[in-house]
Chains A and B, each alone.
Chain A
Amino acid sequence: MKSATAASTTAPRDVTSFSLGLALPLGAAFAIFFVLPLAQLFYLSLHNDTAATVWGLGQYIKFLTDPFSLSVLGATLLLGAEVTLACLVLGYPIAWLYQRSGSRVQTLIIMIVLLPLLTSVVVRTFAWIVILGRQGIINSVLQSLGLIGTPLRMIYTQGGLIAALAQVQMPLMVLPLITAIGRIDPNLSDASASLGAGSWRTFVKVMLPLSMPGIIAGCTLTYAAAITAFITQSLVGGGQMLFMPMYLYQQASTLQNWPFAAAISIIFLFAVLAIVALFSTLGRRARGYGDAR
């Protein structure tokens, strides 16, 4: 509709080629700095030896038949799922609260949610080490209260890592949810109540399906961010837990096995794409998708 009115007011000019021209700088940068290296990576991965002289699918076969490599992939995808779930369960009530608050509280909620994004990833990660460590804040408080004898082990555990990642990735979940919930007509929950539904039924049958676009968007963003969070995974997870980004880094940087690192990258890329595709398929199948007005 907009283009129609624009076309009628401006001189006869091909609007299509005009907007393509505007996209050219970014497109070129994308091609040179992303598509090209990716193609190179793919090319590299198709070699059987570290010097990349012999063609073959050896690196892929090596990865897909190696139980250790597969367990690293599995652990990474699982970590992403757990962080995403934690963000969704903790983030939904925040988004819900936001839509039911006055403008002052709304500003406060946005500030708190965005704060992790505004601090450096290294500082934020060390803060979690201070909180979760053996002599950390939680342990010293619990010990001084006499609730525990020996310090709990929280740092370098899956749980600690999930907490740290969930905090960082919370805005990626909460912001799409706020938008989606805000689009739901407030009369719908009143209508549901007047038809005899209790608040739980109203939530499950009306609010949840209609906030599905936000849930899908939030989950996709959170998931992608969580499984690729190299620094947090390494520092809070410690040496005992190995995830794909670190595995990749070791192969490339320490062992200088570039073709294998390239194969890992490509496999990881497709694993993530598969999960993202799954999310969007689920979203399209959920009937509230794209329909929340």
Chain B
Amino acid sequence: MASVSEAKSLVLDRITHRFASGTMAVSDINLDVKGGEIIALLGPSGCGKTTLLRIIAGFIGQSEGRVIIGNDVVDALPPNRRAVGIVFQNYALFPHLSITENVGYGLAARGVDKATRNKEAQRLLDMVQLGPFGERLPRQLSGGQQQRVALARALAIKPSILLLDEPFAALDKNLRLDMQIEVKRLQRMAGTTTLIVTHDQEEALSMADRVAVLSHGHLEQFGTPSEIYDQPQTLFVNSFVGTANKMKGVVVATDAGGAKVALEAGGEIIARAPKPVSASDKVTVCLRPEHLTFVSDDTGFGGEIGMALPLGATVVHEIKAKDGTSIKISQARTGGTPLREAGTPVRVAPLAAGLATVFPE
């Protein structure tokens, strides 16, 4: 089994793909994935993430750009010669073959004799804790078990890259968390460079070493989960990953990496500026609900309580700001967290300077 040190890297070099209809699917995507990393391709449906996965697997030939696995440009190789393992969203197990035959399928295609491949299939089935199920047919297994078979089948060919296409979407919530932990454990064991395509931000943030956020075929940001969450580079990333209150305003002053913004809702706020802004620019300020707090001084902005939502571990208040914008503020629930009544006038401010982010319109 490949150890982390020999795991292959994956480079997407200026990948662009247009469909036959002329629609731009992905545009100028650059990704540099280190050997052994888990990367999540995160985005809403139609953002091009599945197209990108199919390009890496070789099912689609990209219009422009190169796919480089290890030191090899693989663009000329058909899917069956790329050694890219895929776990499909619906698992795509061969329904007429036993679990052992499914797992051994890739080895059979490589001309490995039956005894050897059955032994290897058994080893992999033991690894995914399905040792006694080898004789069964896929339909005799549950969804989570089928997924582990699909994973074992993909790992059996010792792939240089492992691709997971929405792997947990079909599982119910409890099983999903178990499988996410399981997949991460197996990926660490195998040390295989892994790409997970997902529209689920929690999945991306919890599983991946780095996350690539895609929107409309463009790469919005590529960074660690903390960078994506805490330092979003674009308005899309800020609102797609996590929750964000969006407020309109005008820049009154700037300094290195930050700006002071006069909100339309009244009040001024100091915000981080990942993209340069200058004075009197119209801007959107993003504030995460958990970064806001009620204040009794005159910082932040004013409004009145619209609704209080006690959500178990957190309490969310919806606030109507002066300009009519609806703002959510989320607080960890402690014994003394009061639920505020609708109509109560309040002032709200970021917990600390720099937790707000400003983007040019």
CA distance A138 to B304 in the complex (A): 91
Residue ID in chain B nearest A198 by CB atoms: B80
CA distance A22 to B174 in the complex (A): 49
Q: Size class of B's contact patch?
A: 20 to 34
Q: A191-B86, A194-B57, A196-B80 are in contact. List 18 more A-B contacts (CB 8 A).
A: A187-B88, A187-B92, A188-B94, A190-B57, A190-B88, A190-B92, A194-B80, A195-B154, A195-B156, A195-B157, A196-B81, A196-B83, A196-B106, A197-B105, A205-B105, A209-B96, A291-B95, A293-B95
The reply to whether A194 and B79 form a contact with Cβ atoms under 8 Å apart is yes
CA distance A25 to B93 in the complex (A): 46
CA distance A287 to B154 in the complex (A): 23
Residues of the B chain whose Cβ atoms lie less than 8 Å from the Cβ of A210: 95-96
B249 to chain A, nearest CB (A): 48
B11 to chain A, nearest CB (A): 20
Residues of the A chain whose Cβ atoms lie less than 8 Å from the Cβ of B110: 196
The B47-102 residues at the A interface (CB cut-off 8 A) are 57-59, 78-86, 88, 90, 92-97
Known pairs A196-B81, A197-B105; A191 contacts B88 (CB<8 A) = yes
A168 to chain B, nearest CB (A): 32
Q: How many residues of A contact B (CB 8 A)?
A: 22
The reply to whether A195 and B96 form a contact with Cβ atoms under 8 Å apart is no
Known pairs A185-B90, A291-B139; A193 contacts B79 (CB<8 A) = yes
Residue ID in chain B nearest A206 by CB atoms: B94
The reply to whether A287 and B96 form a contact with Cβ atoms under 8 Å apart is yes
A to B contact number (C-beta, < 8 Å): 75
A58 to chain B, nearest CB (A): 50
Residues of the A chain whose Cβ atoms lie less than 8 Å from the Cβ of B320: none
The reply to whether A197 and B59 form a contact with Cβ atoms under 8 Å apart is no
Residues of the A chain whose Cβ atoms lie less than 8 Å from the Cβ of B106: 195-197
Known pairs A197-B109, A201-B109; A190 contacts B95 (CB<8 A) = no
Residue ID in chain A nearest B59 by CB atoms: A190
The reply to whether A194 and B109 form a contact with Cβ atoms under 8 Å apart is no
Residue ID in chain A nearest B150 by CB atoms: A191
The B327-357 residues at the A interface (CB cut-off 8 A) are none
Chain A 281-293, CB within 8 Å of chain B: the 1/0 string?
0000001100111
Does chain B have a CB within 8 A of A192?
yes
Known pairs A185-B90, A196-B110; A190 contacts B96 (CB<8 A) = no
Does chain A have a CB within 8 A of B153?
yes
CA distance A201 to B109 in the complex (A): 8
The A240-293 residues at the B interface (CB cut-off 8 A) are 287-288, 291-293
